[in-house]
């Protein structure tokens, strides 16, 4: 299958993104509830954390099913009512534990990469 | 193009996109599929509120940003299209399998039930209706033969040719023919429906 091709340099990035995109959604919600379009914009604009805007929704469906986010409807001034997503306390805990593990992981990778670099 | 026409055109683009997404999400559990479809639909509506409703170029760009339905389906855990590669065989194995060899029919069932192409309803119908149809067809043909020979009647030579026995069932010719027709339809229509569903899906994936 094409996404499993070895040596494909986009491949590892895709795998990492897949793993961290959910956590980034949780992180974006710590500053307050957001609706889908807002989240999609931030995630595609900043380093293309998600591939396309539409892929956000399966991801949100997973988070909701795991009880990490919840939704509520709110009126909008400019159009149809919006579905807002907010963090649950389980979501906050999951994010806190991810953040801790991510920093340890990132530091370890950096350290190894630095040892391997010629300078 | 008039204003109404271009609004219609833009709406059509959105409807077509959502239909493609729905097809791509085949194999994802029904409630999750509905959730994702509804939220992508809301996303598109939200993005369109700022636009001129008839601006088809902007709608195209917007749908482009929402992305390839296959990518969204993959994120949702839809089975990859690879598991559909034997699909074309299933209808033929269901039609000819029971007559030619039971193994053929079993292979047809394996393809039918492991492929994400067909709904549970299509699968159930294509499993049972063709077998019932074949049985009806068989009894119908025998009954037609017997009715044509006048079984049970008084012409011994014809009786032997038609396999009449002293006992045995007798149906009026009309009923017997009806049984043949219904049996044939029950045997052939479900596999034909499988072919049609497969063709529709392929055109959305292409």
User: What is the residue extent of each domain of chain A?
Assistant: 12-106
Q: Is B78 helix (H, G, I), strand (E, B) or coil?
A: coil
Residue B135, CA distances (Å) to B47, B128, B129, B146 in order? 56, 11, 10, 17
**Cβ partners under 8 Å of residue B4, min gap 6:** B54
Residues of A in contact with B80 (CB under 8 A): 1
CA neighbours within 13 Å on the CB side: how many for B57? 0
| H-assigned helices in B3-88 | 3-24, 30-48, 56-66, 69-75
- Distance, in Å, from the CA atom of B18 to the CA atom of B24, rounded to the nearest integer, reads 10
What value does the mean pLDDT take over residues B43-50? Answer: 90
For B23-44, b/e burial (b = at least 16 CB within 10 A) is bbbbbbeeebbebbbebbbbbb
CB distance A53 to A40 below 8 Å: yes
Residue B46 to residue A60, Cβ atoms within 8 A: no
Q: Does B31 touch chain A (CB under 8 A)?
A: no
Structure tokens at A94: 């999951």
**Cβ partners under 8 Å of residue B178, min gap 6:** B140
Cα B39 to its chain centre, rounded Å, is: 28
CB distance B122 to B193 below 8 Å: yes
Percent of chain A with pLDDT over 70: 90
Which among A78, A80, A83 has CB closest to B39? A83
Q: Does B68 touch chain A (CB under 8 A)?
A: yes
- Distance, in Å, from the CA atom of B123 to the CA atom of B87, rounded to the nearest integer, reads 12
- Distance, in Å, from the CA atom of B92 to the CA atom of B112, rounded to the nearest integer, reads 11
Residue A83 to residue B42, Cβ atoms within 8 A: yes
Residue B39 to residue A40, Cβ atoms within 8 A: no
Nearest to B45 by CA among B72, B68, A51, B37: B37
For domain A12-106, say whether CATH 3.30.1330.40 is its number: no
Nearest to B126 by CA among B183, B202, B200, B186: B186
Looking at the DSSP bridge assignments, the partners of residue A72 are: A84
Mutate which of B46, B61, B71 to disrupt the A interface (most A C-beta within 10 Å)? B46
- Mean pLDDT taken over chain A: 88
- Distance, in Å, from the CA atom of A14 to the CA atom of A16, rounded to the nearest integer, reads 6
- Mean pLDDT taken over chain B: 82
User: What is this model's ipTM?
Assistant: 0.84
- Distance, in Å, from the CA atom of B190 to the CA atom of B108, rounded to the nearest integer, reads 13
Q: Which of B64-68, B96-100, B178-182, B183-187 has the lowest mean pLDDT?
A: B96-100
Residue B67 to residue A35, Cβ atoms within 8 A: no
- Distance, in Å, from the CA atom of B193 to the CA atom of B51, rounded to the nearest integer, reads 41
Write the pLDDT tens digit of every residue in A35-47.
999 999 999 888 7
DSSP string, A20-88: HHHHHHHHHGGGS-EEHHHHHHHHHHTTTSSSSGGGHHHHHHHHHHTTSEEEEEE--SSSS-EEEEEE-
Residue located via tokens 């044509």: B148
Give the pLDDT of residue B154.
Answer: 52
Q: Which of A10-14, A51-55, A87-91, B73-77 has the lowest mean pLDDT?
A: A10-14
Q: Is B10 exposed, middle or buried (0-12, 13-18, 19+ CB in 10 A)?
A: buried
Q: Does A57 touch chain B (CB under 8 A)?
A: yes
Write the pLDDT tens digit of every residue in B51-91.
888 889 999 999 999 999 989 998 998 876 656 777 888 88
The torsion of the CA quartet A68, A71, A76, A81, rounded to 10 degrees, works out to 140
- Domain boundaries in chain B? 3-78, 84-205
State yes or no: pLDDT of B13 exceeds 70: yes
Greater pLDDT, A115 or B158: A115
């Amino acid at each position: 299958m094409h996404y499993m091709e070895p040596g494909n340099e986009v491949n590892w990035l895709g795998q990492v993104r897949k793993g961290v995109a959910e956590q980034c959604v949780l992180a974006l919600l710590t500053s307050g509830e957001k609706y889908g379009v807002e989240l999609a914009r931030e995630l595609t604009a900043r380093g293309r954390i998600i591939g396309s805007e539409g892929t956000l929704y399966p991801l949100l469906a997973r988070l909701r099913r795991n009880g990490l986010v919840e939704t509520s409807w709110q009126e909008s001034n400019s159009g149809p009512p919006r579905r807002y997503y907010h963090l649950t306390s389980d979501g906050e805990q999951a994010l806190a534990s991810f953040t801790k593990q991510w920093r340890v992981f990132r530091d370890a990778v950096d350290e190894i990469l630095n040892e391997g670099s010629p300078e | 193009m008039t204003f109404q026409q271009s609004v219609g055109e833009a709406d059509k683009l959105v409807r077509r996109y959502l239909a493609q997404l729905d097809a791509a999400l085949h194999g994802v559990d029904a409630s999750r599929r509905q959730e994702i479809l509804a939220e992508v639909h809301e996303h598109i509506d939200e993005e369109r509120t700022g636009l001129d409703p008839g601006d088809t170029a902007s709608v195209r760009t917007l749908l482009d940003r929402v992305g390839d339905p296959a990518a969204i389906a993959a994120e949702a855990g839809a089975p990859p299209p690879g598991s559909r590669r034997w699909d074309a065989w299933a209808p033929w194995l269901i039609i000819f399998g029971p007559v030619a060899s039971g193994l053929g029919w079993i292979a047809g069932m394996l393809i039918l039930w492991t492929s994400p192409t067909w709904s549970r309803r299509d699968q159930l119908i294509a499993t049972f209706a063709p077998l019932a149809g074949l049985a009806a067809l068989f009894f119908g043909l025998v009954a037609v033969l017997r009715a044509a020979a006048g079984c049970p009647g008084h012409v011994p030579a014809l009786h032997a040719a038609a396999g009449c026995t002293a006992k045995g069932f007798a149906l009026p010719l009309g009923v017997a023919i009806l049984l043949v027709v219904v049996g044939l339809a029950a045997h052939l229509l479900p596999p034909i429906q499988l072919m049609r569903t497969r063709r529709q899906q392929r055109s959305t994936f292409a």
